[in-house]
């Protein structure tokens, strides 16, 4: 099946009241998926890319506005050079081959992270892909690449301190909203539902500021196996959560 047929959808359904507006995902378990089949790790990442197409389609079907995927962390450079190289090649191939499908289906693409570390070729592909999808408004797909939550907060602090030292910002006016606007996720609402596959129960430096009030869902399913049914389970679990944002249950129901 071509990428265009795989990523089919958006703007089909108005979201239910209990549907998350923004889902953020740590796609863990590609390596184990491959190992359990006696295959090299990259095969797991390839299969993982198919699961990426699947979840984009499913989010579109559910009318979810934002999907953010953690594709490559600042720490992932420490993996064996061959795996890093193959992951970069996969990233390039997704940027080159899947963009038509995103354009056709009204998906806006944004890449967040410390992009300076990527070479000229990847940066130019990113720019091109973001520009081609800039007017799409059915759904936003954000891919975090060379991203780390602490890096993001640090770069925001650096910018704020710089502006403050030049007298452009009064430190008294620095509040949560202003800090959020200096994070690379500026303009994207905080995630409502976080999903981590692969059995680990941690957030691994992903969107640490933005996840403050997010509902956290962990599943043992390995990312390449994450199916429509697994996605429905996560949505159903989310629908049953009472989001109190620090209030009491009585206040929320009132
Ligand atoms: C974690 O699994 C996964 C990654 C570090 C890479 C994720 C990449 C993809 C899903 C494919 C490309 C997707 C895009 C959006 C370009 P792991 O390798 O840590 O698995 P393990 O815990 O089983 O070893």
Strand positions, DSSP E, 60-121: 66-73, 107-112
Q: Is residue 111 assigned to a domain?
A: yes
How many structural domains is the chain composed of?
1
Query: Ligand 1 centroid vs 54 CA: distance in angstroms?
Result: 15
Six token digits for residue 89: 């090649």
Using the atom order of ligand 1, give the atom closest to the CA of residue 48: 10
Q: Is residue 246 assigned to a domain?
A: no
Percent of the chain with pLDDT over 70: 93
Q: Is residue 29 assigned to a domain?
A: yes
Closest CA to 194 of 15, 25, 21, 8: 25
Question: Residue 55 belongs to what domain range?
Answer: 17-148+191-238
Query: Ligand 1 centroid vs 178 CA: distance in angstroms?
Result: 32
Query: Ligand 1 centroid vs 96 CA: distance in angstroms?
Result: 19
Residue 58: what pLDDT? 97
Using the atom order of ligand 1, give the atom closest to the CA of residue 73: 5
Nearest CA to ligand 1 atom 11: 49
Q: CA-CA distance, 146 to 123, in Å (whole number)?
A: 12
User: For 228-238, what is the mean pLDDT?
Assistant: 97
Band (pLDDT 50/70/90 cuts) for residue 251 is confident
Average pLDDT, the chain: 92
Residue 73: what pLDDT? 92
Q: Which of 76, 123, 205, 230 is catalytic?
A: 76
Please give the model's pTM, rounded to 2 decimal places: 0.91
Q: CA-CA distance, 242 to 220, in Å (whole number)?
A: 23
Query: Ligand 1 centroid vs 72 CA: distance in angstroms?
Result: 7
More confident residue, 12 or 227: 227
Are 139 and 59 a contacting pair, CB within 8 Å? yes
Q: Is residue 162 assigned to a domain?
A: no
pLDDT single digits (tens) 136-167: 999 999 999 999 999 999 999 999 999 999 99
76 flagged as catalytic: yes
Please check the confidence at residue 4 and state whether its pLDDT lies above 50: no
Q: CA-CA distance, 187 to 204, in Å (whole number)?
A: 23
Q: Is residue 110 assigned to a domain?
A: yes
Sign of CA dihedral 182, 186, 187, 188: negative
User: For 36-44, what is the mean pLDDT?
Assistant: 96
What CATH number should be reported for the domain holding residue 134?
Answer: 3.40.1180.10
* Residue tagged 């198919």 (tokens): 50
Residue 14: what pLDDT? 66
Band (pLDDT 50/70/90 cuts) for residue 9 is low
69 Cβ closer than 6 Å to some ligand 1 atom: yes
Question: For a substitution probing ligand 1, which of 30, 44, 92, 122 has the most ligand atoms within 8 Å of its CB?
Answer: 30
61 flagged as catalytic: no
Please check the confidence at residue 1 and state whether its pLDDT lies above 50: no
pLDDT single digits (tens) 214-226: 999 999 999 999 9
Are 105 and 10 a contacting pair, CB within 8 Å? yes
Q: Is residue 143 assigned to a domain?
A: yes
Q: Is residue 243 assigned to a domain?
A: no
Q: Is residue 56 assigned to a domain?
A: yes
């Amino acid at each position: 099946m071509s990428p265009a047929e795989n990523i089919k959808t958006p703007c089909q359904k108005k979201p239910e009241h209990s549907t998350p507006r923004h889902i953020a995902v740590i796609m863990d378990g590609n390596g184990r998926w491959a190992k359990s089949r006696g295959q090299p790790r990259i095969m797991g990442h390839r299969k993982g890319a198919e699961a990426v197409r699947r979840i984009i389609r499913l989010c579109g079907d559910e009318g979810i506005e934002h999907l953010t995927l953690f594709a490559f962390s600042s720490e992932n450079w420490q993996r064996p050079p061959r795996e890093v190289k193959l992951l970069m090649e996969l990233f390039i191939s997704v940027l080159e081959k899947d963009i038509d499908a995103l354009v056709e289906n009204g998906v806006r693409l944004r890449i967040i992270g410390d992009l300076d570390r990527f070479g000229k070729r990847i940066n130019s592909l990113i720019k091109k892909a973001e520009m081609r999808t800039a007017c799409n408004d059915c759904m936003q797909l954000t891919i975090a690449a060379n991203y780390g939550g602490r890096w993001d907060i640090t770069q925001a602090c650096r910018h704020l301190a710089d502006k403050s030292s030049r007298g452009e910002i009064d430190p008294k006016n620095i509040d949560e909203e202003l800090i959020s606007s200096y994070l690379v996720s500026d303009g994207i609402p905080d995630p409502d539902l976080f999903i981590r596959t692969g059995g680990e129960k941690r957030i691994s430096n992903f969107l640490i500021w933005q996840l403050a009030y997010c509902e956290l869902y962990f599943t043992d399913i390995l990312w390449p196996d994450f199916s429509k049914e697994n996605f429905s389970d996560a949505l159903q679990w989310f629908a049953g959560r009472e989001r109190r944002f620090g209030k009491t249950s009585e206040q929320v129901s009132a």
